[in-house]
Amino acid sequence: MIQILLTEDQLSPSQCESFIADDAAGGHVIFIGTVRNNTSKKTVLYLDFEAYGSMAEKEMKKIAEQAASKFNVFHIVIHHRIGKLKIGEIPVIIGVSSAHRKAAFEACEYCIDTLKESVPIWKKEFFEDGEVWVAAHP
């Protein structure tokens, strides 16, 4: 089973953990990305995420389907937040469950790496002396 969410609302690690729960799973992996307070020795005030919504959701689903097939996992959840996020807030959660831990770790890593490369979500970092777009995707 796959669950995809792109939202302006706060993300819930416990909701993601509940979705991937499975008694047949020997491994559950959750990646929680958080907004850090610095980049390249510059103080970050906040981040702003924008997305091409329908395309982003379609691409996230495609990534989850590929990971599920490639790594033979039971459940995958990919939640991403858009809008203004403060330091410590969560912009992305990826969760995977599988029979064995190695597949869960590999699938989770595949999902976050591929998401950052191919999903049309853009991040702008705001500093005391300006702002910059980071890692714009196609």
Residue 135 counted as domain residue: no
Give the domain extent around 97.
Answer: 2-128
Tell me if 138 is assigned to some domain. Answer: no
Domain-located, residue 122: yes
pLDDT in tens, 27-72: 999 999 999 999 988 999 999 999 999 999 999 999 999 999 999 9
Assess whether pLDDT exceeds 90 at residue 138: no
User: What are the angstrom distances between the C-alpha of 84 and each of 26, 29, 32, 73, 107?
Assistant: 36, 27, 17, 33, 28
Count of domains in the chain? 1
Angle at alpha carbon of residue 12, lines to 6 and 87, rounded to 5°? 85
Residue 134 domain-assigned (yes or no)? no
Residues 102-115, mean pLDDT to the nearest whole number = 97
pTM: 0.94
- pLDDT tier at 135 (50, 70, 90 boundaries)? low
Selection from 74, 65, 60, 68 nearest residue 23 by Cα: 74
Please report, for the domain that includes residue 92, its CATH number: 3.90.1170.40
Tell me the average pLDDT of the chain: 95
